[in-house]
């Protein structure tokens, strides 16, 4: 495995608007339909006290039709195998189309062969599908590396740490925080967690805090992947932000 041909990735998402009333009327109606479906499927999460408005503010960012990406952080391993470095950069901002275009340009530059891969935690079910859908919403052509819908399973260039940990057990969901703890890797969750991102973004207007949180997840994902595959962890002083 050539570690320098892996792009480690994590994204942060929020609802498209700060509150339900700001959402376009047609999307409000469609969210109410979605909410009723969610209530039937997950009554333990959406009980009788839950409303479409409260559910949108807490969960709207999970769904690409009602949410948007505010940060994409990526990491690339460089240097010699005995002393590797991790270079991290982020694409973030209020203009989702702009950050997606910038991310697309990076993909075009990085993915120069079929040996290149994305790596992330639950990227098969969340990060990569979300990115692809939001690119289509904005009319951005999918880079070749993201044209995965017609590929055979063994052709898809996605390395998923959660999928790797399942070992075929499709009933199992393990958070990145838990996986890092089990493998003896310092937890990245020492500030906020995913449920607080929307509040930090809309109420605190603190995008830098979210970027830091996203970058820590990239570091943790990289370390988890290295540990799973028998490589030495990257020393803290060898993590560079560019």
Write the pLDDT tens digit of every residue in 191-230: 788 889 999 999 999 999 999 999 999 999 999 999 999 9
Give 184's contacts (C-beta < 8 A, 6+ positions apart): 227
The listed CATH number (3.40.50.620, 3.30.420.10, 2.40.50.100, 3.40.50.410) that belongs to domain 3-16+66-241: 3.30.420.10
Looking at residue 168, what is its pLDDT? Answer: 81
- DSSP assignment of 185-227 equals ---S-SS--GGGHHHHHHTS--HHHHHHHHHHHHHHHHHHHHH
Question: What DSSP element (H or E) covers 46?
Answer: none
Cα separation, 167 vs 11, in Å, equals: 24
Mean pLDDT of 83-98: 95
Q: Any idea which residue has 């207007």 for tokens? A: 205
Looking at residue 157, what is its pLDDT? Answer: 92
Looking at residue 189, what is its pLDDT? Answer: 54
By the 8 A CB rule, do 224 and 161 touch?
yes
Mean pLDDT of 85-91: 97
Residue 137 burial (C-beta neighbours within 10 Å; 0-12, 13-18, 19+): middle
Residue 13 burial (C-beta neighbours within 10 Å; 0-12, 13-18, 19+): buried
Looking at residue 187, what is its pLDDT? Answer: 65
pLDDT digits (tens, 9 = 90+) for 4-30: 999 999 999 999 999 999 999 999 999
Cα separation, 127 vs 9, in Å, equals: 8
pLDDT digits (tens, 9 = 90+) for 180-190: 999 999 765 56
Cα separation, 179 vs 165, in Å, equals: 8
More confident residue, 44 or 32: 32
pLDDT digits (tens, 9 = 90+) for 136-177: 999 999 999 999 887 887 788 999 999 999 988 877 789 999
By the 8 A CB rule, do 212 and 88 touch?
no
Determine what percent of the chain is predicted with pLDDT higher than 90.
Answer: 78
Q: Any idea which residue has 């994305």 for tokens? A: 118
The structural domains of the chain, with segments of one domain joined by +, span 3-16+66-241
């Amino acid at each position: 495995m050539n570690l320098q041909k892996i792009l480690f990735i994590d994204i942060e998402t929020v609802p498209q608007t700060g509150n339900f009333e700001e959402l376009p009327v047609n999307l409000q109606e469609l969210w109410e339909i979605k909410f009723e479906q969610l209530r039937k499927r997950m009554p333990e999460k959406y009980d009788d006290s839950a409303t479409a408005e409260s559910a949108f503010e807490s969960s709207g960012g999970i769904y690409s039709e009602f949410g948007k990406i505010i940060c994409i952080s990526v990491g690339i391993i460089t240097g010699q195998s005995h002393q590797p470095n991790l270079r991290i950069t982020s694409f973030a901002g209020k203009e989702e189309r702009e950050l997606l275009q910038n991310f697309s340009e990076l993909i075009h530059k990085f993915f120069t062969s079929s040996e290149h891969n994305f790596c992330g935690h639950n990227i098969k079910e969340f990060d990569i599908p979300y990115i692809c859908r939001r690119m289509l919403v904005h009319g951005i052509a999918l880079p070749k590396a993201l044209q995965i819908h017609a590929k055979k399973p063994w052709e898809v260039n996605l390395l998923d740490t959660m999928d790797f940990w399942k070992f075929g057990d499709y009933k199992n969901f393990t958070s990145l925080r838990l996986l890092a703890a089990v493998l003896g890797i310092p937890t990245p969750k020492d500030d906020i967690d995913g449920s607080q991102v929307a509040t930090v973004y809309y109420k605190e207007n603190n995008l830098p805090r979210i970027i830091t949180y996203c970058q820590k997840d990239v570091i943790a994902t990289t370390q988890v992947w290295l540990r799973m595959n028998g490589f030495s962890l990257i020393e803290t002083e060898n993590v560079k932000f560019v």
